[in-house]
Amino acid sequence: MKYGIYFAYWEHEWDADYRYYIDKVSRLGFDILEISCGAFGKTYTTDAQLTELRDYAKEKGVTLTAGYGPTKEQNISSADPDTAARALDFFAGTLGKLKLMDIHLLGGGLYSYWPVDYTQPVDKEADLARSVGNMKKLAKIAEENGVVLGMEVLNRFEGYLLNTCEEGLAYVEAVGSPNVGLMLDTFHMNIEEDNIAAAIRRAGDKLVHLHLGERNRQVPGKGTLPWDEIGQALRDIGYSRAAVMEPFVMPGGTIGSEIKVWRDLVGDTSEEALDRDAEGALRFVRHVFGI
């Protein structure tokens, strides 16, 4: 299994200098840097920039994976046909960029939008049907670009279509594409699953991506999640894909606002302290998981 971390742990905005974080995660001993597709519209806008970043990651021995939370205007489950069509166009362009960068995994709440606006009515059944239909179209584009799409199961406060592993598996089965799989996140699972390890075993070979984080949003080992049980479940299903830490511990900026971090969750948020915590968490999960 390869271990990674999401760049946003150190940032307040969704776009950043990814070369800087490629250097950082390489130095800290990670295999993977997860980036946000949000940067494609701001910082990395040309093919030359994308290929340069791809080549730099390869030079440093770092694999890139991608994550994204679609905006309301990029919602493939929208009841507005024009919005859904624009969403498919957006994803088609994004998947082309990922192919150019040699990125083969895109995870997130791709089946809907994020953060969800709960001031609006929720029609889960109708939204789910539209989402599955459009995801079938998106899956074909993903297949053409060699990208696997991870349907991230989110907690009820951040999403309503897929809240449990069981719902995620049903969605993946309904889409029926080898390029659409399940993505689990220990933070979200802690809220929604009766038993985290049992849910991982239930996911089995449909699990294509995994996010790691404590129930307090800190790095693994800084909270009370049952990491021994999680590791055993991963060994039981023979999981060999990426395990990417996704901690959020600082308020401020777009990230702090959207993730709802309103205070420093750790005593020291200096870059040096965050680096030490990340490096320690990497040693911790490698030891506990033994994979």
Check: CB of residue 170 under 8 Å from CB of residue 202. no
80's tokens: 């507005």
Beta bridge partners of 64: 33
Active-site residue, from 152, 158, 192, 214: 152
In terms of Cβ atoms closer than 10 Å to its own Cβ (0-12, 13-18, 19+), residue 179 is buried
Annotated catalytic residue 193: no
Q: Which domain holds residue 156?
A: 2-289
The pTM of the whole model exceeds 0.85: yes
The set of residues, in sequence order, having a beta carbon less than 8 Å from that of 68 and lying 6+ positions away, is 36, 37, 38, 94, 106, 107, 108, 110
The pLDDT value given to residue 15: 87
Is residue 268 helix, strand or coil? coil
The pLDDT value given to residue 47: 97
The number of folded domains in the chain is 1
Domain CATH number, residue 77: 3.20.20.150
The pLDDT value given to residue 291: 86
d(CA 77, CA 161): 10
The pLDDT value given to residue 121: 93
Closest-CA residue to 289 (of 220, 224, 223): 220
Helix (H) or strand (E) run with residue 52 in it: helix 47-59
Annotated catalytic residue 246: yes
d(CA 171, CA 187): 21
132's tokens: 């599955």
How do the pLDDT tens digits run along the chain, 291 residues long? Answer: 999 999 999 999 998 999 999 999 999 999 999 999 999 988 999 999 999 999 999 999 999 999 999 999 999 999 999 999 999 999 999 999 999 999 999 999 999 999 999 999 999 999 999 999 999 999 999 999 999 999 999 999 999 999 999 999 999 999 999 999 999 999 999 999 999 999 999 999 999 999 999 999 999 999 999 999 999 999 999 999 999 999 999 999 999 999 999 999 999 999 999 999 999 999 999 999 998
d(CA 257, CA 30): 27
Active-site residue, from 34, 192, 193, 246: 246
